[in-house]
Structure 1
Amino acid sequence: MKFKSAVILRNEHNESTFGASKVLEKKLKEFGLTILSLDSIENGTVVFTLGGDGTVLRSAKLLTEKDIFVMGINFGHLGFLSPYEFKEIDLILKKILIDDKFSIVERRFAEAKDEFWKVYFFNEFVVQRDVPSHVIDVEVRIDESLIGRITCDGVIVSTSTGSTAYNLSAGGPIIDPMAGVISIVPMMAHTFFKAPIIVSSKRKIGLKVIPREKEKYFMVSDGNVLMNYNEPQEIKISDSEKFLKFLCTDDRDFFKIVHQKLSWGVRNGVEHDDGF
């Protein structure tokens, strides 16, 4: 595959991405690529994001309608969606623009909706209490079967891709992003229903939020607060047809990234890999 154009999206709140974007633009032009703005993006374009996973998420919904390829360069913290470091940029560009040593990995969005609105999320959809001293009740259904009613601070519904984001922080499992499942994680549950539930992404998930004494709660999609409610609300969550294409060099693997980012196998600051 021959790439002819590129877009550079950077986290404008991170000053170090400004100089890096200029360096990257110069290098891409040396390889013969045309630098486009997001408004003039076209099929076959590579989008380089300079920032953290939030930068990828902010651009994700803009990049699903065309044949676009995303490569995340990490200037943030963990960076599971942006696994590359800028110090690697020369080697990365050589692999994808000269050696053709890359693969295309598709990651799918999920959708949440009620009768009036619908949103797409890449990592997670969350319903959460608004007042710290109060709880909410959430009924969880899988394909119309009632699983239970949870008294909790909230519920996180995560895609496989989002398992290393808010889901992980709330005690949810790390999931292979190729698994095609959805994780349902109660937050600080006050009932015996505490453990995460993993279901196929082909199933339909229903959440009925029941606030106590009309206390407010809010909904969040990929870190963006959507709205506040104080009335019962029913949300339907399912897989979607939208997906994002990531450009990955052949030396990068999800579990290698997990090992590096979470320092698994590191004792006393020294990495250990004894093999099998």
Structure 2
Amino acid sequence: MAFKNIHFVASSVPLAREALAKFSHRFGQTPADKADVVVALGGDGLILSTLQKFQSRNLPVYGMNRGTVGFLMNTYSDDSLLDRLNAAEEAVINPLRMFATQTNGDSVEALAINEVSLIRSGPQAARLRILIDGRERMAELVCDGALVSTPAGSTAYNYSAHGPILPIRADVLALTPMAAFRPRRWRGAILPREAKVTFEVLEAEKRPVSAAADSAEVRDVLRLDIASDSTIEHRILFDPGHGLEERLIREQFA
């Protein structure tokens, strides 16, 4: 497909705003409802929010790094934008759907492209019960938190918590504990992508826990249900030879 109608978005940092002004002047600013591609100028946080914002239109997003973290971004350049867009490789990502039940009975639903995480929000460690597809797999995990990561997000929070890097085309999810105290040596699990993961928070009033789907936070969580949503596809564009598969392999040899 030849991309011609570009909608630009940018983060609030000066470098990104300068790039937005430059590209908008050169290519124009196509309204989002008439665009066939989105160019995001910023960091990984911007591209994640942009993918979610435009998911109903199924628009591909091409990011250029004008932020601090840029794992999902392409190298910034003022030159040859149309050539780069039309030569780009596409990666398709299914997000995780989080359904959080709070201690007051309210519920919150959100999507995550990278990961859904639970983390203690008080001075005491969290106590979690873990169920996979409705079956108890761990009666008690005492920890600072835990997360479920997609392959695309496996080099982010998951990796910093010593979780595994997952190949982008692997039909698996990573379940990774954070600072596990009991069982002390438990390193987590790799699960089928179709698995439904449930965390039940034990002693939720005494040991409060927050949940986050990427950057969307929910406090005072009692139960968290997580599953991959194959009905939603996020499309990310990368320069040839620098796609997600190559980046994930390269990261393991850094």
Number of residue pairs aligned between Structure 1 and Structure 2: 246
How many angstroms apart in 2 are the aligned matches of 1:113 and 1:177?
A: 24
Bigger shift: 213-222 or 201-210?
213-222
Counterparts of 2:111 and 2:58, CA distance in 1:
18
SS of structure 1 residue aligned to 2:95? strand
Q: Can you list the C-alpha shifts for 1:6-44, whole angstroms capped at 9, x where unaligned?
A: 1111111x1111211122223434xxxxx234xx423x5
Alpha-carbon offset, residue 126 of structure 1: 1.1
User: Could you tell me which residue of structure 1 aligns to residue 17 of structure 2?
Assistant: 18
Identity %: 23
Larger radius of gyration: 1
Which residue identity is paired with 2:128?
V
User: 2:252, 2:172 → 1: CA distance?
Assistant: 25
Other-structure match for 1:272: none
RMSD value, Cα: 2.2
Where does residue 30 of structure 2 map in the other structure? 36
Within the alignment, does 1:136 sit opposite 2:130 as a pair? no
> Matches of residues 1-276 of structure 1 in structure 2 within 5 Å?
1-12=1-12, 14-29=13-28, 35-37=29-31, 40-42=32-34, 45-82=36-73, 84-87=74-77, 89-96=78-85, 100-114=86-100, 116-131=107-122, 133-148=123-138, 149-192=140-183, 194-211=186-203, 214-229=206-221, 233-240=222-229, 241-258=231-248, 264=253
TM-score (norm 2): 0.87
1:103 Cα shift? 2.9
CA distance in 2, matches of 1:85, 1:263: 20
Amino acid at match of 1:242: I
- 2:168 and 2:245 in contact (8 A); partners too: no
Q: 1:222: how far off? A: 0.4
Question: Corresponding residue for 2:104?
Answer: none
CA distance in 2: counterparts of 1:139 and 1:239, whole angstroms: 20
> Given that residues 8 and 47 in structure 1 are in contact (C-alpha distance below 8 angstroms), is that contact kept between their aligned partners in structure 2?
yes
* Alignment partners' CA distance in 2, 1:171 and 1:137: 20
| C-alpha contact 1:186 1:195 (8 A) present in aligned 2 | yes
Q: C-alpha separation between the residues in 1 aligned to 2:38 and 2:219?
A: 30
Amino acid at match of 1:36: T
Q: Answer yes or no: is the 8 Å Cα contact 1:51–1:74 preserved in 2.
A: yes
In structure 1, give the amino acid aligned to 2:30: L
SS of residue matched to 1:218: strand
Alpha-carbon separation, structure 2, partners of 1:65 and 1:188 = 37
How far residue 124 of structure 1 moved from its aligned partner, in angstroms, is: 1.0
Unaligned runs of 5+ in 2: 102-106
Q: Runs of 5+ in structure 1 lacking a partner?
A: 30-34, 266-276
| Distance in 2, Cα, partners of 1:66 & 1:163 | 26
Structure 1 residue identity aligned to 2:19: A
Kept in 1, the 8 Å contact 2:151–2:172? The answer is yes
1:221 Cα deviation from its structure 2 partner? 1.4
Aligned 8 A contact 2:168 2:248 in 1: no
Give the number of the structure with larger relative contact order, counting CA–CA contacts within 8 Å between residues 6 or more apart: 2
CA distance in 1, matches of 2:205, 2:55: 41
Secondary structure of the structure 2 residue equivalent to 1:235: strand
Q: C-alpha displacement at 1:212, in angstroms? A: 5.9
Contact kept? 1:49, 1:55, Cα under 8 Å: yes
- Preserved contact between residue 45 and residue 67 of structure 1 (Cα < 8 Å): no
